Amino acid sequence: MRITLKNLKRDYGSLHAVQDVSLSIPDNTIYGIIGRSGAGKSTLVRLVSMLEKPDAGEVWYDDERVDGLEGKDLISRRRRIGMIFQNFNLFSSRDAAGNIAYPMEICGMDKEHIKARVDELLGLVGLEGRGNAPISTLSGGQKQRVAIARALACKPDILFCDEATSALDPQTTRSILALIKELQAKMNLTVVMITHQMEVVRDACERVAVLDAGRVVEEGMVSDVFANPRSEVTKDFLSNLTNVKDSIVRWSTEGGRFTLRFRGGTTDEPIISIISNEIGAVFNIRAAGVQEVGGEELGVMVTDIGPDEQHVRIALEMLKKHGVSVEGE
Ligand SMILES: Nc1ncnc2c1ncn2[C@@H]1O[C@H](COP(=O)(O)OP(=O)(O)O)[C@@H](O)[C@H]1O
Ligand SMILES: [Mg+2]
């Protein structure tokens, strides 16, 4: 299912939570929407998932306009959508199987079918035989697996994930993202992944939109956006990522004014040597490594450039001419 948003707006009093958002989310993919806290991500997802009506603008699922749906049409359309959240939103009064069964009971599916489907879903999310487990006995990762199984119970076309991994540790986050990727491919889902974590975008998404103060400030293939971030917000997200990424080794705790990112063909040329020979610039490399982004490998180098500002300026120009993206100017 392809999702198209046209000039969406939502105000809360004088606060413009979502301002003029237009996006095209392709079918059968994992699409990331990243932004800081308060950027308007959850508001946007409520508009797109028909939980709330926009003040202006349009939401389309394929060729059907859905933002004005009411009554029965709204209910039947919403059944084709799954959602998961940071805090899981599970019923603590029901066990794992009871939670997964819930949406199917609402749809009026018969007991036999529900039971078979619950077992199938438990298997799909890696919780075989855990149907009787009370929710309170499950770990965060297991709770999110139950929530995913529940979201997928009625075979939706779209899965919305609002900060689905934000309450989980890094290792559990990776396993949940791997599960979502696997299920996306298996069920041809359109997954909309809302997050404030660049790691989530890097590890799971194909395309990404960056939201800031209710507006889309950047949009594109994850590999392009990582290689060549344009907005300040995106650069900020990326610089945090560089600091925590374990395949980037920092051997000097000081310095490192510029972050250079090399992609594809640029990694085959000895660009640093060329620049240093041609203009006599000196590079003091503080950290380096590889980031895998959207299935593409980017070389990353954190460096100082000398001996003076004039050399810095010419060196940066040459780097850019060779297709290297530069951050920190
Ligand atoms: N129901 C609401 N009533 C009033 N203000 C709201 C409501 N929901 C969100 N907001 C405000 O809208 C802005 C965007 O919120 P939200 O969409 O939750 O951002 P995010 O999910 O990116 O953190 C925030 O300033 C928030 O306080
Ligand atoms: Mg939110």
What are the mean pLDDT values of the chain's consecutive 10-residue runs (329 residues total)? 98 96 97 96 97 97 96 93 95 97 94 96 96 96 98 97 92 94 96 95 95 97 90 86 56 80 74 91 88 74 92 94 84
* Pocket of ligand 1 contains residue 91 by CB under 6 Å: no
pLDDT of residue 248: 66
223 CB less than 6 Å from ligand 1?
no
The Å distance, Cα 208 to ligand 1 centre, comes to 21
Ligand 1 near 45 CB (within 6 A)? no
Let me know how long the chain is. Answer: 329
Ligand nearest the Cα of residue 43 is 1
Percent helix, percent strand, percent coil in the chain, to nearest 5 = 40, 30, 30
- pLDDT score recorded for residue 265: 65
> What are 156-184's pLDDT values in tens digits?
999 999 999 999 988 899 999 999 999 99
List where CATH 3.40.50.300 sits in the chain.
Answer: 3-220
How many whole angstroms separate alpha carbon 328 and alpha carbon 309?
Answer: 13
The CATH architecture one would assign to domain 3-220 is 3-Layer(aba) Sandwich (3.40)
| Sign of the alpha-carbon dihedral angle for 286, 34, 201, 320 | negative
| Ligand 1 close to Cβ of residue 214 (< 6 A) | no
What is the residue with the minimal CA distance to atom 16 of ligand 1? 40
Nearest CA to ligand 1 atom 9: 43
Number of separate helices (H) and strands (E) present in the chain = 11, 15
Q: What's domain 245-327's superfamily in CATH? A: ACT domain (3.30.70.260)
Q: 45 alpha carbon to ligand 2 midpoint, in Å?
A: 9
* Residue in 8, 10, 11, 12 to alter for ligand 1 test, most ligand atoms within 8 A of Cβ: 12
In the chain, CATH 3.30.70.260 covers 245-327
pLDDT of residue 73: 95
Ligand closest to Cα of 211 equals 1
Q: What is the pLDDT of residue 246?
A: 46
What pLDDT, on a 0 to 100 scale, did the predictor assign at position 270?
84
191 to 23, 33, 267: CA distances (angstroms): 14, 11, 32
233 lines ligand 1 (CB under 6 A): no
- 304 — phi, psi (to 5°)? -100, 155
Index of the ligand 1 atom closest to the CA of residue 214:
14
With a 6 A CB cut-off, is 38 part of the ligand 1 pocket? yes
* Token pair of 284 as six digits: 């003091």
Place of tokens 């997050």: 195
Is residue 242 within 6 Å of ligand 1 at its C-beta? no
